[in-house]
C-alpha cells in the first residue's frame, strides 16, 4: 500500500468514527449540528472540493469531482447533513478501493514483465564489479553468474549453459547455448557462469525494446477506449443539465399545471442523487485497465501487442495470410538426397559446392554445409549468377551449370524430372546433365496444429503467399491444410495479393499477415494486423509488426487471437453492465426510489466489480 493510500485510509476511518459519534450526540442547535458535521465532511472530502474548484477555474467543470461536490454541498444546503457526509464518505471509500485494486493489478502486470536487469558484472583489477547496464559499451566483456539475468545482447566468448527464456517467450523449456552463440538480454542464466562480449548498447538491447514496446502500448488506443472518452465527454454535461431540469421542471409542472405545492426541496434532492449516480467511474477506469491487463498478460506468454487498437483488431481476425519460409517452415535448408548420373555423388557435390563458393543464399550455404570440406577456390576460374535461375561457373577448366530447369533450358540441356517436394538444384558439366540435389526445408513441428487451431477459432480462410514454385508451395499447403496458396511471388507481388485480400473481406473483419518481420516488412505494415514470428531478438520484427511473437511457435498466432477475444469480451461485459446499472439507478433516483447513499453504494459496487472483471484479462496461461 502506498503512502497516499494509507493517508486516505486514515482520513476515511477518522471521518467514519466521527460520523458515528455525532449520530449519537443529541443537538438542538442547527448551527452547532452543521459545524459538527462539517468536521468529518472536510476531513474526508477537502481534496474533492479542491479538485472541483480547480476544474471550474480551468473551465473543465464536468468531471466526477464537480458532480460529487455539487451533490454533497446541495444535500448539506437542504439540511441533509448526515446524507451529505455519508455520500462523500462512501465515494472516498470507493475511490480508495479503486486505487488499491488498480495499483495491485498494475503491480501484478509489472511483475509479469520484470525482465529489466538491475546491473551488469564487469572485471576491474581482477575483481567483479557491478555497474549500471547503461554504462556498458559495445565490445565490453561482461560476466553473467548462475541465477542472474543477461543484461545486454551479445556473443558468448567463454562457457556453456542453459538459459531460461520464459520471461521473453513464455516457454519453460531451457535453451542450451555455448561459446560462439548469440544471446539476448532478459534471459536468466541457469547452470554455469558465462562471459559475453556485448554487441549492443543497453538502450538498443532486446530487453529495452520489449519494455519500451509494452510501456508505450497504452498510447495506441482502441475504438472502445475512444468511445468511452467521447462518451464521458458528452455524457457528464448531459446528466448535469438533466439533473438541473429534474430540479426545476417537475416543481413548475406541479405548481402551474396541477396547482400543487412547489416541493422544490424534494426534487432538488432527487436531482442531486441523480448527479451522484451519473459518475462514469466504472467505465472510465475499467476499460483502459482491461486492455492494459490483456497486453501485460499476453507479454508473459511471449506475445507482444503494441497497443489496444491492435488488440481490438486482432480479435476480429477472420483471414490469416502466411509467408512460408521461417513462418510455417523452419527456414533451415538442408540437402536430403543426391541423384547422380555418369558421376559419383561425391564428385557431383564437389562441383556444386565450389560453384556456390561465393553464394550467401541459404540453398547455396546448405550445399556447402553438406560438402563439409574446405573449398579450394583456386580451382574456380569464374562465377556468374543468373538471377532467378542459378550459377554459371568455370571450375577445373570445365563449364558448370548449377540451378533450376530454366537455366538448363537456356543452354538446351534437358533436366531430369524429380517428383520430390522441395527445391531441386540441377547440375550440368560441359553441356552434359550430371544429376540433381534435393534441398528440403522442414515444416515446423506445430504448424499443422496452428492452422487447425485458427480454423477452430473462427478464422474463415488461411492463405499462404510464397516465392517458391508451384510444386513446393502446393506440397507444403497440402500437408498443413492451408485453404489457399499463391506461389512464385516476388516481394512486390505479395503486396498486390494482400491488397486483393483486403478488398475481399468485409469492413468488420480483419486480415492478419504473418511473416518473419524482415523480408516481409512491406506486407506486414499493409495488413490490418501485422504479426512477426520467429523474432527472438530481431530488431526488424519489433519495428515492423503490430504483434510480435517472441519465439517461432506458430501456435502463438491462435493464442494471440484468443487473448484478444477474451480481452474484448471483458471490455463489452463491463460496458454493458456499467451502462445498464447506470440507467436503472438513474431512473430509480428520478422517481425518488433510490436514496443518495444507496446510489453512491451502487456506483461504487459497479466500479469494484468492473475492476475485478478487468483484472481477469491477466489470465492467459490456459487459453
Give me the active site residues, please. Answer: 323
Which residues does residue 428 pair with via DSSP β-bridges, in sequence order? Answer: 401, 433
Helix, coil or strand: residue 190: coil
Residue 502: CB atoms within 10 Å: 15
Q: Which three cell numbers stand for residue 468?
A: 517458391
Give the number of residues written for the chain: 623
Q: What is the CA radius of gyration of the chain?
A: 34
Alpha carbons 76 and 458: distance in angstroms, whole number: 57
Taking the CA atoms of residue 562, residue 165, residue 452 and residue 462 in that order, the dihedral angle to the nearest 10 degrees is: 80
E-assigned strands of 272-416? 303-305, 317-323, 329-340, 380-386, 390-395, 398-403
CA distances (Å), origin 166, targets 149, 159, 174, 539, 551: 12, 21, 8, 19, 10
Contact 443, 482 (CB under 8 A): no
Contact 567, 314 (CB under 8 A): no
Query: Which uninterrupted H or E stretch holds 412?
Result: none
547-549 sheet: strands from edge to edge:
303-305, 547-549, 529-532, 510-515, 317-323, 461-465, 484-486
What are all long-range contacts of 579-584, with beta carbons under 8 Å and residues at least 24 apart?
A: 579/283, 581/606, 582/277, 582/278, 582/280, 582/606
Contact 286, 575 (CB under 8 A): no
Q: Which three cell numbers stand for residue 359?
A: 553464394
Give which of 369, 338, 535, 556 is closest to 446, Cα–Cα: 556
Alpha helices, DSSP H, located in 113-165: none
Amino acid at each position: 500500500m502506498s503512502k497516499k493510500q494509507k493517508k486516505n485510509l486514515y482520513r476515511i476511518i477518522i471521518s467514519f468514527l466521527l460520523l458515528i459519534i455525532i449520530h449519537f450526540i443529541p443537538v438542538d442547535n442547527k448551527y452547532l449540528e452543521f459545524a459538527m458535521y462539517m468536521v468529518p465532511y472536510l476531513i474526508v472530502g477537502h481534496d474533492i472540493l479542491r479538485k472541483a474548484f480547480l476544474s471550474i477555474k480551468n473551465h473543465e467543470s464536468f468531471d466526477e469531482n464537480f458532480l460529487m461536490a455539487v451533490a454533497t454541498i446541495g444535500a448539506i444546503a437542504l439540511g441533509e447533513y448526515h446524507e451529505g457526509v455519508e455520500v462523500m464518505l462512501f465515494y472516498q471509500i470507493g475511490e480508495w478501493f479503486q486505487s488499491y485494486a488498480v495499483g495491485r493489478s498494475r503491480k501484478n502486470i509489472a511483475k509479469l514483465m520484470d525482465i529489466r536487469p538491475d546491473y551488469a558484472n564487469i572485471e576491474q583489477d581482477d575483481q567483479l564489479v557491478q555497474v549500471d547496464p547503461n554504462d556498458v559499451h559495445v565490445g565490453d566483456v561482461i560476466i553473467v553468474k548462475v541465477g542472474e539475468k543477461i543484461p545486454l545482447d551479445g556473443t558468448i566468448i567463454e562457457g556453456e549453459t542453459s538459459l531460461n527464456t520464459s520471461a521473453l517467450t513464455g516457454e519453460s523449456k531451457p535453451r542450451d547455448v555455448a561459446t560462439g552463440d548469440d544471446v539476448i538480454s532478459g534471459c536468466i542464466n541457469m547452470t554455469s557462469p558465462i562471459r559475453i562480449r556485448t554487441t549492443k548498447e543497453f538502450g538498443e538491447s532486446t530487453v529495452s525494446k520489449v519494455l519500451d514496446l509494452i510501456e508505450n502500448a497504452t498510447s495506441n488506443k482502441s475504438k472502445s477506449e475512444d468511445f468511452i472518452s467521447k462518451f464521458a465527454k458528452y455524457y457528464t454535461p448531459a446528466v448535469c443539465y438533466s439533473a438541473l431540469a429534474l430540479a426545476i421542471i417537475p416543481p413548475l409542472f406541479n405548481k402551474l399545471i396541477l396547482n400543487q405545492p412547489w416541493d422544490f426541496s424534494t426534487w432538488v434532492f432527487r436531482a442531486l442523487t441523480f448527479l451522484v449516480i451519473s459518475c462514469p467511474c466504472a467505465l472510465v477506469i475499467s476499460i483502459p485497465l482491461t486492455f492494459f491487463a490483456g497486453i501485460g498478460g499476453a507479454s508473459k506468454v511471449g506475445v507482444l501487442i503494441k497497443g489496444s487498437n491492435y488488440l481490438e483488431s486482432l480479435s476480429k481476425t477472420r483471414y490469416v495470410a502466411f509467408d512460408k519460409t521461417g513462418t510455417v517452415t523452419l527456414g533451415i535448408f538442408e540437402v536430403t538426397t543426391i541423384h547422380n548420373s555418369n558421376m559419383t555423388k561425391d564428385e557431383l557435390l564437389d562441383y556444386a559446392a565450389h560453384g556456390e563458393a561465393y553464394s550467401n543464399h541459404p540453398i547455396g550455404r546448405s550445399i556447402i554445409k553438406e560438402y563439409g570440406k574446405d573449398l579450394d577456390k583456386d580451382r574456380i576460374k569464374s562465377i556468374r549468377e543468373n538471377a532467378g535461375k542459378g550459377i554459371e561457373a568455370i571450375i577445373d577448366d570445365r563449364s558448370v551449370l548449377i540451378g533450376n530447369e530454366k537455366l538448363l533450358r537456356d543452354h538446351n540441356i534437358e533436366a531430369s524430372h524429380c517428383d520430390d517436394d522441395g527445391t531441386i538444384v540441377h547440375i550440368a558439366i560441359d553441356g552434359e546433365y550430371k544429376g540433381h540435389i534435393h534441398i528440403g526445408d522442414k515444416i515446423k513441428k506445430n504448424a499443422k496444429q496452428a492452422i487447425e487451431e485458427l480454423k477452430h477459432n473462427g478464422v474463415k480462410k488461411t492463405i499462404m503467399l510464397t516465392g517458391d514454385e508451384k510444386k513446393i508451395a502446393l506440397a507444403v499447403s497440402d500437408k498443413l491444410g492451408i485453404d489457399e496458396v499463391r506461389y512464385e511471388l516476388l516481394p512486390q507481388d505479395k503486396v498486390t495479393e494482400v491488397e486483393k485480400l483486403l478488398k475481399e473481406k468485409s469492413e468488420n473483419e480483419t486480415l492478419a499477415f504473418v511473416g518473419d518481420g524482415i523480408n516481409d516488412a512491406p506486407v506486414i505494415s499493409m495488413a490490418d494486423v501485422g504479426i512477426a514470428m520467429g523474432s527472438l531478438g530481431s530488431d526488424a520484427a519489433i519495428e515492423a509488426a503490430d504483434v510480435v511473437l517472441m519465439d517461432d511457435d506458430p501456435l502463438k498466432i491462435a493464442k494471440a487471437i484468443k487473448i484478444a477475444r477474451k480481452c474484448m469480451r471483458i471490455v463489452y461485459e463491463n460496458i454493458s453492465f456499467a451502462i445498464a446499472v447506470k440507467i436503472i439507478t438513474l431512473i430509480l433516483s428520478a422517481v425518488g426510489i433510490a436514496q443518495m447513499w444507496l446510489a453512491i453504494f451502487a456506483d461504487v459496487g459497479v466500479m469494484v466489480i468492473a475492476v475485478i472483471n478487468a483484472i481477469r484479462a491477466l489470465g492467459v496461461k490456459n487459453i
